[in-house]
Amino acid sequence: DQQVKQNSPSLSVQEGRISILNCDYTNSMFDYFLWYKKYPAEGPTFLISISSIKDKNEDGRFTVFLNKSAKHLSLHIVPSQPGDSAVYFCAARYYSNYQLIWGAGTKLIIKP
Amino acid sequence: ETGVTQSPTHLIKTRGQQVTLRCSSQSGHNTVSWYQQALGQGPQFIFQYYREEENGRGNFPPRFSGLQFPNYSSELNVNALELDDSALYLCASSLGLAGREETQYFGPGTRLLVL
């Protein structure tokens, strides 16, 4: 039973355009959502987060949107750069014990 | 300031064997979390150690056990290895307890293959 789903295993975007990565969740007990980026042979690194009481959080080229009624969040990267090519994980945190539940990841490829 | 390191980088074992994976946390960090990432999946929380005591555990059987040492480095032990234990094992360190995910730093992982 996947509580956090990233339905696109991969996404290819032209350099300079917008990349939109999606994530769906099923559990209403999540209070915080995070995006991580992972390069090959490295551990995941924190990218951006959003509290369940907000609907948008922005940090430079990265913006996360949360639609609670649809149980959906998305990460927008604009403009996309070659260094953004990586696997992106969405993770949701349980409010009761702070455990993170992760999606399976989306591999983003930025084409020059 | 040194980052999170893990050893070994790769390991091959056979079913039924035991394995110990090691993690050195980032300087100044006193909390270590372990995750299992199977191929094509996201990381799954195994357990967390804070100041040498287990502080939370995911849905893993007791044959997965851990230790945290006074210098806050940590070990993950897996007994009676099964084929499904083949995965990337990630260690992450942070300062303090939960709610600090933004300042949780991951090591590069140990790739375990069970034959």
Is A104 part of the contact surface with chain B (CB cutoff 8 Å)? Answer: yes
Residue-wise pLDDT tens digits, A16-48: 999 999 999 998 889 899 999 999 989 999 999
Q: In this complex, do B56 and A98 lie within 8 Å of one another by their Cβ atoms?
A: yes
Token reading at A70: 């649809």
Residue-wise pLDDT tens digits, A55-108: 999 999 999 999 999 999 999 999 999 999 999 999 998 877 778 899 999 999
Is A1 part of the contact surface with chain B (CB cutoff 8 Å)? Answer: no
State the nearest Cα–Cα gap between B56 and chain A, in angstroms: 8
Interface of A with B in 73-102 (CB under 8 A): 89, 91, 93, 97-102
Q: Cα–Cα distance between B63 and A15 in angstroms, integer?
A: 47
CB A86 within 8 Å of CB A21: no
Which residue does chain B place closest to A40, by CA atoms? B108
Interface residues of B toward A, Cβ cutoff 8 Å, are 4, 40-45, 56, 58, 90, 92, 97-99, 101-109
Pairing of the two strands A56-59 and A19-25: unpaired
pLDDT in the model for residue B27: 85
Question: With a cut of 70, which residues of chain B have pLDDT below it?
Answer: 1-2, 97-102
Residue carrying the six token digits 């150690």: B49
Residue-wise pLDDT tens digits, B34-52: 999 999 999 999 999 988 9
CB pairs under 8 A between A and B: 55
If you compute the radius of gyration of chain A from its CA atoms, what whole number of angstroms results? 13
Residues recorded for chain A: 112
Q: In this complex, do B42 and A43 lie within 8 Å of one another by their Cβ atoms?
A: no
Token reading at B27: 């300087």
